[in-house]
Amino acid sequence: MEVDAVVQECCVARQCGPGQPRFAVCASCAMIRHVVIVRAQVVACDSSVQNRKSLHGANEQMGNLCRLAICVLFMGMVSGCDRSSDWPVRPVTLVCPWSAGGGTDRVSRQIAVQLEAELGVPVNVINATGGGGVTGHTRGAIAAADGYTLQMATVELNMLHWRGLCPITPRSYRPLAKLNEDSAAIFVRADAPWQTIQELETALREATSSVPVSGSAAGSIWHLALAGWLMERELSPDATNWISINGSAPALQELLAGGIEVVCCSIPEAAALLHGGEVRCLGVMSQERCPAAPEVPTFVEQGVEWSVGGWRGLMYPPGVPEDRVERMSAAIRRVAESAEFTQFMDDAGFNISLVYGQEFAEFLAEADAGFGAILTQPAMQQQQQAPLSAWFVPVLLIGIGVVMLGVSGVSRRSVAEVSTEGSGAESLRIPLLFCGSIVVFILACQTVGYVLSSMALLGVQFWLLRVGVLKLVLFVVLAVPALYQVFSAVLGVPLPWGMLGW
């Protein structure tokens, strides 16, 4: 049978009627698949088929050799046909670089729900947090370019590389669509003496010691927005003292507690406190007023030519096939322009700003240059100095540890007696073999796939513990697919796919 015919039939079979099985899977261009053709008879070919060429060869002998449907077992785990016209067939992963519950996470989850309906496959959000966005932004850029990993990128993409934290820049991605842009704004406590941005500026000029301010970590977009404003008005960088607090919510809490005087963050982040009258917004750093808080004047209105904001957008790793990029872009465009998404963004107070493809890439290049100009300023570098060196705490801890070891050494003798007591008959052989099997699992899982490698792991461990063959097979065959279904289908956790597609 010709390869293309196989593919063709396979795709036909996928749209088959209710009477026929729905588990047809064909060889994809790049990946190795078990092949099942469903028509009058079921033809199953060996899963060791490596690529189209060997598929062709294997097909000739296959007719007689493996007509039996070994695939019954696979049924219900997989369905799909990996041909470009029929892409996507697997769950799509959406990488969110910030933690669950934050603004970016909420936008990601909304996009995921709507994309799922658009694409017809599950879209799972994973929160790859840590390192001030380094982890998350690296994850999407180095993902396989098969179009199944989508990255929610944020403004930090423009900033991390300038601060020398990671080599990832906007050029490490294929930008698809910018979804929103939130401008920075300046907040003070409701009982603070300043009513306008000029009054605050005068106060900063006249202050004898530097005023404590925050909004997020040092070097974040809000830090940069504030520093840029000071630079624009030619204030000394020492006028303010940026306290590095992780996130805008704890910074606002610190503002209420009186630890800092000014917070710089976006309006949606402070919406609850702003509407509750606990904080006052002196101005928003944008050209137009923010729809979520139309009573707040812009900086431009108050005579300060300074606007800056954070953006969120969707990106692909470079090298994704063009037809998949088009398919995904079209789906994203439909989602982003839907009434449902607009409603969601309005309700959450996020400012929609849609820019697609090439235009988005140009926006990113421009923003990158602008941020670079500020971030490389000596004033900005200076402000990132912390009062304690990064190694102060680890060294202190090692010191305490050594002292404690010394103290415990005094009473060590009694301990040694206790611990040697029952350990004579114990053996470390099986625990070590278990460790070894887990190491092999970790190394193999990404290429072999979750189901197969878990089956192997479980089988080996049962065997080590001398479980009977029948029980072994029974538990392996029942437990692994069940666990896979629970995590993958019910909880939406994307488990490694591997060679066989599952």
Partner 1 sequence: MSDALLQAFAEVLGRPDIWAIVLASACYGIFVGAVPGLTATMAVALFVPIAYWMDPVGALAAIVTMVACAIFSGDLPTVYLRIPGTPASAAYADDAYRLTRQGKAQRLLCLALTSSIAGGIIGAVLLMVLGSQLARVARLFSVTEYFWLYLLGLSCAVLVASGGSRVKAVLSLVLGLLLSTVGLSAVHIEPRFTFGIPALYQGISFIPAMIGLFGLAEVFSNLCVMSAAAESVTGDSEVAATGERWSLLEDARQRLTRHKGGVGRSSLLGVLIGMLPGAGADIAAWVALAASRRARADQDDDEQMMQSVADATTANSAALAGGWIPTLVFGIPGDSVTAIVIGVLLMKNVTPGPVIFAEQPALVYSIYLIFILANVVMFPIGLLAIRLGARIVRIPRQILLPLIVLFCITGSYALNSSMFDVTTMLVMGVLGFLLSRSEMPAGPVVLGLVLGGPLEERLIQSLSASEGSLAGLISRPLSLALALLTAAVFCGIVLAEVRDRRSGRQTT
Considering only residues 409 through 448, tell me which ones interact with partner 1, judged by CB under 8 A.
Answer: 411, 415, 418-419, 423, 425-431, 434-435, 438-439, 441-442, 445-446
Q: Which two tokens stand for residue 212?
A: 């404590």
- The residue behind tokens 């309006």 is 267
Task: Please tell me whether residue 19 binds partner 1 under the rule CB under 8 A.
Answer: no
Q: Which residue among 112, 264, 308, 452 contacts partner 1 (CB under 8 A)? A: 112
Cis preceding-peptide flag for 170 (omega within 30 of 0): no
The least CB distance from residue 316 to partner 1, in Å, is: 18
Q: Which two tokens stand for residue 312?
A: 């969120």
**Do the Cβ atoms of 4 and 52 come closer than 8 Å?**
no
Give the separation between CA 429 and CA 162, rounded to whole angstroms.
50
The least CB distance from residue 497 to partner 1, in Å, is: 11
Residue 144 or residue 397: which is nearer to partner 1 going by CB? 397
Task: Please tell me whether residue 117 binds partner 1 under the rule CB under 8 A.
Answer: no
Residue 443, amino acid: L
Q: Which residue among 127, 180, 286, 351 contacts partner 1 (CB under 8 A)? A: 127
Task: Please tell me whether residue 277 binds partner 1 under the rule CB under 8 A.
Answer: yes
Name the DSSP letter for residue 423.
G
Task: Please tell me whether residue 115 binds partner 1 under the rule CB under 8 A.
Answer: no
Give the separation between CA 109 and CA 122, rounded to whole angstroms.
12
Q: Looking only at residues 311 through 350 of this chain, which bind partner 1 when binding is defined by CB under 8 A?
A: 344, 347-349
**For the residues of 296-310, what is the DSSP string, one character each?**
SPBTTTTT-----EE
The least CB distance from residue 451 to partner 1, in Å, is: 11
The least CB distance from residue 501 to partner 1, in Å, is: 17
Q: Build a one-symbol-per-residue string for 196-225: x at contacts with partner 1 by CB under 8 A, - elsewhere.
A: -------------xx-x----xxx------
Q: Which residue among 138, 151, 183, 286 contacts partner 1 (CB under 8 A)? A: 138
Task: Report helix, strand or coil for 292.
Answer: coil
Q: Which helix (H) or strand (E) holds 105?
A: helix 103-119
Task: Please tell me whether residue 454 binds partner 1 under the rule CB under 8 A.
Answer: yes
The least CB distance from residue 164 to partner 1, in Å, is: 9
Q: Which residue among 207, 302, 394, 489 contacts partner 1 (CB under 8 A)? A: 394
Q: What are phi and psi of 482, to 5 degrees?
A: -65, -45
The least CB distance from residue 249 to partner 1, in Å, is: 6
The least CB distance from residue 56 to partner 1, in Å, is: 34
The least CB distance from residue 260 to partner 1, in Å, is: 7
User: Count of H helices and E strands in the chain?
Assistant: 17, 12
The least CB distance from residue 434 to partner 1, in Å, is: 6
3-state helix, strand, coil in the chain (%, to 5): 50, 15, 35
Q: Which residue among 245, 296, 361, 448 contacts partner 1 (CB under 8 A)? A: 245
Residue 240 or residue 307: which is nearer to partner 1 going by CB? 240
**Do the Cβ atoms of 352 and 209 come closer than 8 Å?**
no
Q: Looking only at residues 154 through 173 of this chain, which bind partner 1 when binding is defined by CB under 8 A?
A: 163, 165-166
Task: Please tell me whether residue 278 binds partner 1 under the rule CB under 8 A.
Answer: yes
Number of residues near partner 1 (by CB under 8 A): 115
Give the separation between CA 241 and CA 232, rounded to whole angstroms.
17
The least CB distance from residue 379 to partner 1, in Å, is: 16
Residue 172: HSE in the Cβ half-sphere, 13 Å Cα cutoff: 17
Closest by Cα among 125, 183, 482, 115 to 349: 183
**Do the Cβ atoms of 246 and 216 come closer than 8 Å?**
yes
Q: Looking only at residues 80 through 99 of this chain, which bind partner 1 when binding is defined by CB under 8 A?
A: 93, 99
Q: Which two tokens stand for residue 102?
A: 């934050």
The least CB distance from residue 427 to partner 1, in Å, is: 4
108-136: burial string, b at 16+ Cβ within 10 Å, e else: bbbbbebbbebbebbbbbbbbbeebbbeb
Sequence-ordered list of residues with C-beta below 8 angstroms from that of 246, at least 6 positions apart, any chain? 216, 217
Task: Please tell me whether residue 400 binds partner 1 under the rule CB under 8 A.
Answer: yes
The least CB distance from residue 204 to partner 1, in Å, is: 16
Q: Which range touches partner 1 (CB under 8 A), out of 21-29, 61-69, 193-201, 251-259? A: 251-259
Give the separation between CA 285 and CA 297, rounded to whole angstroms.
9
Give the separation between CA 306 and CA 83, rounded to whole angstroms.
50
Task: Please tell me whether residue 356 binds partner 1 under the rule CB under 8 A.
Answer: no
Residue 8 or residue 377: which is nearer to partner 1 going by CB? 377
**Do the Cβ atoms of 270 and 276 come closer than 8 Å?**
no
Task: Please tell me whether residue 100 binds partner 1 under the rule CB under 8 A.
Answer: yes
Residue 48 or residue 389: which is nearer to partner 1 going by CB? 389
Q: Looking only at residues 455 through 494 of this chain, which bind partner 1 when binding is defined by CB under 8 A?
A: 457-458, 461-462, 465-467, 471, 475, 479-480, 483, 487, 491-494
Residue 307 or residue 488: which is nearer to partner 1 going by CB? 488
**Do the Cβ atoms of 124 and 112 come closer than 8 Å?**
yes
Task: Report helix, strand or coil for 185.
Answer: strand
The least CB distance from residue 358 to partner 1, in Å, is: 30
Task: Please tell me whether residue 76 binds partner 1 under the rule CB under 8 A.
Answer: no
